Amino acid sequence: MAAPDAQLRAAVESALGEVRARIEAAGRSPDDVQIVAVTKGFGPDAVVAALGAGLATVGENYAQELLTKASVAPEGVRWHFLGPVQRNKVKALHPHVALWHGVDREAAGREIIKHAPAAPVLVQVNLSGDPARPGVSWGDAPALVDALRTIGLDVRGLMGVAGLDGARQQFSRLARLARDVEVEGLSMGMSGDFEIAVSEGATIVRIGTALFGARPGATQVRR
Ligand SMILES: *Cc1c(COP(=O)(O)O)cnc(C)c1O
């Protein structure tokens, strides 16, 4: 019988093949869409399996989880931080983070730039408008993009998590906003809605359960 790590890697490879096929079926070349392997809730073995399957970009939502996994992960992982940026966590996180997806206020950007000049960031927009969810409002997003550029961050794009209803309309609105504020990057789409997201122009999808199965912990995405 194969070792558990080889089994996990084979499972992730096969799941990745399926995700790529679904991206293609949704009308996009899988080579044009970056897949971030979201390993939150799983152990470091999931990171190793992702890397083995060819997914070197790994996303985490929680600072401590990222730091713990980064301390044991093999070389070559590019970490994306997906969670809201808590200012007291930036100092520890920044040496590891290749892209911050969750910048939704200027204070977070100022904290990042204090440690990482010209760091690449995405501005998270609150797609559903639910005040309990992270993200800058639609109306305030353009000014935030400007403010972050002004202080010297490299604003690569926009990020959003769709609400339960109306994902297509929300993703297409985010794509329009990206054109308006002249950014290329569009991080949108998760396991449940990535086909809609890629058909609306996503350049980055963030995929957890479709690659690794259901998360063992209670870290389901709040919608
Ligand atoms: C957990 C999470 C994901 C991955 O969710 P799945 O549904 O498991 O693919 C993507 N983006 C964010 C912001 C998340 O919190």
CA dist., res. 122 & res. 187, Å (int): 8
Task: Write 17-20 long-range contacts (CB < 8 A, 24+).
Answer: 18/210, 19/194, 19/207, 19/210, 19/211
Measured in Å, residue 121 CA sits from the centre of ligand 1 at 18
Give the chain's length.
Answer: 223
pLDDT tens, 14-41? 999 999 999 999 999 999 999 999 999 9
Query: Is residue 57 within 6 Å of ligand 1 at its C-beta?
Result: no
CA–centroid distance, 58 to ligand 1, in Å, is 11
Closest ligand 1 atom to 83 CA:
13
Which atom of ligand 1 lies closest to the CA of 190? 9
Structural contact between residues 178 and 184, judged by C-beta atoms closer than 8 angstroms: yes
Mean pLDDT of 82-107: 97
Ligand 1 pocket member 191 (CB < 6 A) = yes
Between the CA of 124 and the centroid of ligand 1 the distance, in Å, is 14
Q: In the chain, what percentage of residues exceed pLDDT 70?
A: 96
Q: What is the pLDDT of residue 207?
A: 98
- Among protein residues, the one whose CA lies closest to atom 14 of ligand 1: 221
Least confident among 56-60, 135-139, 218-222: 218-222
* Cα-to-centroid distance, 8 and ligand 1 (Å): 20
